[in-house]
Amino acid sequence: MEKPTIILATSNGVGMGHLVRASAIALALREYANPIIVSMAGGIAEIPDFMGIRCEYIPGRDRMWMPRDKWDAYLRDRLLALVDETGARVMSFDGVVPYPGVISAKFSQPKLSLVWVRRGLWQKKPQRFVLGLQSQMMDHIIEPGDFARAYDFGPTAKRKDFRLTAPVSLFQRSSALSREQARKVLGLDLERPAVLVQLGTGDSDVNEKMSAALTGLLGWKDLQVILTKNPVGKDGQSLAPEGLDIRVVRHFPLAEVLLAFDAGVCATGYNGVHELLPAHVPTVFVSNIRGTDDQEARAQWCHDMGFALRANQADLGDITATVKKLQDPAVREKLSRKCIELAEASGGVEIAKILYDLATQEETSRPSWFLYKQLSIQGQLKRGLRHIVYRWLRRLALIYRAIHPHIVVQVIAEESPIWGSQTSSKELSLLIKSEKKFEHIISGASESYIARRKEIARVAYGEKFKVTKQKIARAPA
């Protein structure tokens, strides 16, 4: 039997949670299916080198490469073109807000089953008001489990429309590098203690949390402090106090090398908790309260259950004092030993099996499509209901984005895009981060797919956009 193709689509969230979950599912699918990852997250550049899985970057609406009213149609057409090219019958979407373009793609392709991978632990933010309508548009909903689910009192917690799995994690002890191997890969001293700090930088309050956390590490003898990005503020000034041996490393996925660390200081995102704790890394969690994810609830559960320490994200002094506790070997040993009690984070395998079963069954179960067909049969009035719902979903999404606008990260030049099917993480990352428009083509694409993509780009970018002389920079065979 030929392997089915399954598309795993993700939004561009605050962190890497959506993309990392898709990666864990794709790894589990690889044996018996052809997974393809499409994402608006720049981190997708790391996927081909790490996993050898085909992927495509789709520029998010926040890149402002086209008028907002054209982006939904652009996303829909990009997804439909990929479905036609690969013959995929199942597409999952991991994100808080299923874009109108994603929903529209499902209704434009009757044979496509749409699965929403909807993380729990939502804060009570405006997205909850359209949750019911969005859920009804889905064929299936899967909730990846969360260690802290007992502390979930958000809008998704009591819904009955999803299938719950175990937590999803890229950390698997069977495939993780040993402590010695991981330290050699990262270039760390094999004998000195090492701490991983993942708090990010950017706005002033985030920078202050980073400085407070690093201050708590002062005095730890022979310590190696490992960060994933330079600890500098927007003004270029260092956020780190004098006296620390700080190294910035770039390694994807970090889950592979977590056994190198004696402790961690991390935001309480889905990835951080479901990778560091299964790796038994003694951790202080400092929550990021932006976005929909209820990191404070997750941090409180970890603290109350004894799996990690929670620092008060609103109190810089408490952050410093709590991080300082990690210098005590007894504290680290207690936390690490407690983490052994956690259940296995095997949700990636579970979700992969669900998606595979949907892709290979004779008739795809489609409650939302069935509802849509019923509305169509019942006449013009009821046919219009679906379009009204769709229109209001889009309007509500636009209203929310007007209140909470994306951060504009680039000024885009008015010129034709660069085309390419790069698979090298270095090349792909540079193109995605560039100020120039970039149209990424999946490796091994057919000529008809490339032609269709050029037409989609022409419509999205406007009539002045010329594509007749464009060449696709193909990845080497």
Is 472 a domain residue? no
Check whether 38 has a pLDDT greater than 80. Answer: yes
pLDDT at 224: 98
Tokens describing residue 384: 């219009």
Rounded to an integer, the average pLDDT of 43-62 is 92
| 374-426 residue pLDDT tens | 433 433 333 344 455 555 655 665 565 556 555 443 344 457 899 999 999 99
pLDDT at 471: 54
Indicate whether 417 and 325 sit together in one domain.
Answer: no
Indicate whether 326 and 201 sit together in one domain.
Answer: yes
| 65-87 residue pLDDT tens | 888 879 999 999 999 999 999 99
Indicate whether 396 and 278 sit together in one domain.
Answer: no
**Range of the structural domain that residue 187 is part of:** 179-339
Indicate whether 259 and 319 sit together in one domain.
Answer: yes
Whichever domain contains 244, its CATH number is 3.40.50.2000
Is 471 a domain residue? no
The overall average pLDDT reported for the chain is: 87
Indicate whether 221 and 313 sit together in one domain.
Answer: yes
Indicate whether 52 and 117 sit together in one domain.
Answer: yes
How far apart are alpha carbons 329 and 371 in whole angstroms? 59
Least confident of 100-109, 278-287, 293-302: 100-109
3-class SS of residue 36: strand
Indicate whether 91 and 67 sit together in one domain.
Answer: yes
Indicate whether 298 and 430 sit together in one domain.
Answer: no
Helices (H) and strands (E) in the chain, counts: 16, 15
Rounded to an integer, the average pLDDT of 352-362 is 93
Indicate whether 280 and 413 sit together in one domain.
Answer: no
Structural domains of the chain, count: 2
- Listing DSSP states for 63-128 in one string gives G-SS-HHHHHHHHHHHHHHHHHHHT--EEEEESSS--HHHHHHHHH-TT-EEEEE--S-B-S-GGG
Indicate whether 27 and 87 sit together in one domain.
Answer: yes
Q: Are 188 and 365 in contact (CB under 8 A)?
A: no
Residue with the larger pLDDT of the pair 120 and 379: 120
Is 392 a domain residue? yes
Indicate whether 162 and 249 sit together in one domain.
Answer: no
Selection from 216, 215, 212, 209 nearest residue 323 by Cα: 216
Is 133 a domain residue? yes
Is 469 a domain residue? no
Cβ neighbourhood burial of 254 (10 Å; 0-12, 13-18, 19+): buried
Q: Are 230 and 161 in contact (CB under 8 A)?
A: no
Indicate whether 156 and 280 sit together in one domain.
Answer: no
